[in-house]
């Protein structure tokens, strides 16, 4: 109960990647354990938690705007507790209090498990709490997790990143790589299966280096094979792969697996060797092309997606043309494309040859136009085929329609028949294709 004798409630707002989504689930789990229930609106909450991202400046701007908005709620309800967690909290620490004095606590990426204690502390003393450790003291403590999605679950297999791509802030805010023991991950996968989850996404900043932080540790292929052996899970995905560390053993394990989806997300970042080298990516465009060929030979019909940054410092028109040429040649199913964003503290932020915003935007548009044509073309090729879809639920925009995903991770929408239940694997005949969505009817 809160001070007004009502049920205590929390509201979470999450920015950024799947790892953040999963952290939010673990934050929510702790609030549940304290007797809080979820509020749909921030205005109905006693605790509001913003889980933040700082990978690009655009995310940070949005988050500062959101934090500013909450000031009004705090003015109307002095008992409201507002907390900022995640990557921006880790990076900016007590600077966040100075910028927004209505924040009650700042929780770093290594301090997720401390939320329960902090809420209790603030409840008693009403002081500000800064909990930001510089590094993790121990691995994934047994924190309760509340998952909103009842079909697909995120399962972290490792934390942190050792790669130090020169544009990226992640290694600075998430620390060095720490892999969870294989038995712990497999045990959690079995628990998820028992709870009725059908799909598991193994999470890590660079899943291909799973286990490399400890001598004698199982590697990523071993882990995939072990999770594949868990009964009851229909689909296994993983995020994110690093092209440099993707190897024949992993590809072969995926080929022989029962449940690992034939979808490879391999961020290329740029198609020019000079840019790739300046990014410290550790592979060439030719090596990437070879990897794609190897995957396509081993896993026919595999879908391939990527991340690309345009306007990295020093990127000339010719270098950018290399990216376009690679995109045209490889034909990704989809690409997540980003304007390079200067992140202070990273090597690229102070490199010579920063690209003007107008140039970056023009390049991004050309890249997106090209990729959208390719995505649409690939999707059109699926019209008339029957595809396995995992039913996720009602379509967001239309209650008469249902939504799910193919093994290639493409979104499919069809008219509800009443015979499909959330969590079912159904077959859908594809009738029309758009860039990001397929439409069809239940076969």
* Binding-site residue positions for [4Fe-4S] cluster: 17, 53, 87, 161, 165, 168
Report yes or no: 323 and 310 within 8 Å, Cβ to Cβ: yes
Residue 268 found at the interface with ligand SF4 (CB under 6 A): no
Residue 206 found at the interface with ligand SF4 (CB under 6 A): yes
Sole window of 122-130, 160-168, 376-384, 421-429 interacting with ligand SF4 (rule: CB under 6 A) = 160-168
Nearest distance in Å: CB 108, ligand SF4: 17
Check the CA dihedral 37-38-43-47 and report its sign. positive
Residue 305 found at the interface with ligand SF4 (CB under 6 A): no
Residue 343 found at the interface with ligand 5AD (CB under 6 A): yes
337-362: buried (b, 16+ CB within 10 Å) or exposed (e) per residue? Answer: bbbbbebeebbbeeeeebbeeeebee
Q: Name 413's Cβ contacts closer than 8 Å, sequence gap at least 6.
A: 395, 401, 402, 403, 437, 438, 439, 440
Residue 164 found at the interface with ligand SF4 (CB under 6 A): yes
Q: Which is nearer to ligand SF4, 208 or 395 (CB)?
A: 208
Q: Name 241's Cβ contacts closer than 8 Å, sequence gap at least 6.
A: 206, 207, 208, 264, 265, 266, 267
Q: Name 270's Cβ contacts closer than 8 Å, sequence gap at least 6.
A: 276, 279, 281, 308, 309, 312, 315, 319, 322, 323
Q: Which is nearer to ligand SF4, 223 or 348 (CB)?
A: 348
Residue 118 tokens read as 């902090």
Nearest distance in Å: CB 443, ligand SF4: 39
How distant, in Å, are the alpha carbons of 34, 72, 281, 390 from that of 215? Answer: 39, 52, 24, 38
* Residue least distant from ligand 5AD (Cβ): 307
Residue 53 found at the interface with ligand SF4 (CB under 6 A): no
Residue 340 found at the interface with ligand 5AD (CB under 6 A): yes
Nearest distance in Å: CB 368, ligand 5AD: 14
Residue 163 found at the interface with ligand SF4 (CB under 6 A): yes
Q: Which is nearer to ligand 5AD, 179 or 337 (CB)?
A: 337
Q: Which of residues 141-200 bind ligand 5AD (CB under 6 A)?
A: 167-168
Residue 246 found at the interface with ligand SF4 (CB under 6 A): no
Q: Find tokens 């024949």 and name the residue.
A: 248
Residue 68 tokens read as 């500013």
Residue 284 tokens read as 């060439």
Nearest distance in Å: CB 310, ligand 5AD: 9
Q: Which of residues 319-338 bind ligand 5AD (CB under 6 A)?
A: 338
Residue 327 found at the interface with ligand SF4 (CB under 6 A): no
Residue 190 tokens read as 């079995």
Q: Which is nearer to ligand 5AD, 114 or 269 (CB)?
A: 269
Nearest distance in Å: CB 56, ligand 5AD: 5
Terminal-residue alpha carbon distance, the chain: 50
Query: Residue 11: CA atoms inside 13 Å, Cβ hemisphere, count?
Result: 15
According to CB under 6 A, which one of 9, 11, 56, 178 is a site residue for ligand 5AD?
56
Site residues for ligand 5AD per CB under 6 A: 55-56, 167-168, 267, 269, 307, 309, 338, 340-341, 343
Binding site for ligand SF4 (CB under 6 A): 161, 163-165, 168, 170-171, 205-206, 242
């Amino acid at each position: 109960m809160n001070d007004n004798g009502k049920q205590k409630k929390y509201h979470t707002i999450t920015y950024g990647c799947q790892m953040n989504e999963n952290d939010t689930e673990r934050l929510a789990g702790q609030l549940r354990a304290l007797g809080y229930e979820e509020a749909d609106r921030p205005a109905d909450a006693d605790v509001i938690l913003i889980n933040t991202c700082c990978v690009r400046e655009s995310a940070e701007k949005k988050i500062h705007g959101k934090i500013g908005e909450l000031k009004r709620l705090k003015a109307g309800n002095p008992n409201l507790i507002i907390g900022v967690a995640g990557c921006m909290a880790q990076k900016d620490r007590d600077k966040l209090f100075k910028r927004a004095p209505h924040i009650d606590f700042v929780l770093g990426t290594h301090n997720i498990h401390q939320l329960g204690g902090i809420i209790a502390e603030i409840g008693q003393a009403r002081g500000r709490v800064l909990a930001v450790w510089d590094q993790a003291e121990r691995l994934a403590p047994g924190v309760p997790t509340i998952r909103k999605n009842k079909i697909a679950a995120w399962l972290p297999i490792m934390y942190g990143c050792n790669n130090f791509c020169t544009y990226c802030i992640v290694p600075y805010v998430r620390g060095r790589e720490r892999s969870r023991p294989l038995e712990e991950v497999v045990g959690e996968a079995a628990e998820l299966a028992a709870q009725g989850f059908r799909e598991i996404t193994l999470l890590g900043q660079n899943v291909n280096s799973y286990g490399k932080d400890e001598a004698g540790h199982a590697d990523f292929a071993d882990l995939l094979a072990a999770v594949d052996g868990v009964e009851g899970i229909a689909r296994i995905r993983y995020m994110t792969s690093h092209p440099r560390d993707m190897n024949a053993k992993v590809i072969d394990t995926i080929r022989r697996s029962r449940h690992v989806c034939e979808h490879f997300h391999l961020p290329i970042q740029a198609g020019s060797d000079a840019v790739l080298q300046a990014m410290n990516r550790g592979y060439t465009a030719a090596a990437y092309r070879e990897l794609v060929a190897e995957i396509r030979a081993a896993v026919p019909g595999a879908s391939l997606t990527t991340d690309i940054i345009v306007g990295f410092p020093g990127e000339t028109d010719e270098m950018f043309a290399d990216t376009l040429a690679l995109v045209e040649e490889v034909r990704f199913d989809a690409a997540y494309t980003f304007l390079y964003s200067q992140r202070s503290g990273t090597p690229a932020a102070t490199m010579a040859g920063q690209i003007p915003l107008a140039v970056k935007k023009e390049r991004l548009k050309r890249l997106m136009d090209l990729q959208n044509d390719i995505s649409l073309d690939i999707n059109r090729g699926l019209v008339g085929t029957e595809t396995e879809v995992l039913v996720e639920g009602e379509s967001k925009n239309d209650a008469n329609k249902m939504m799910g995903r193919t093994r290639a991770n493409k979104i499919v929408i069809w008219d509800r028949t009443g015979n499909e239940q959330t969590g079912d694997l159904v077959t859908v005949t594809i009738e029309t294709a758009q860039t990001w969505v397929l439409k069809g009817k239940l076969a």
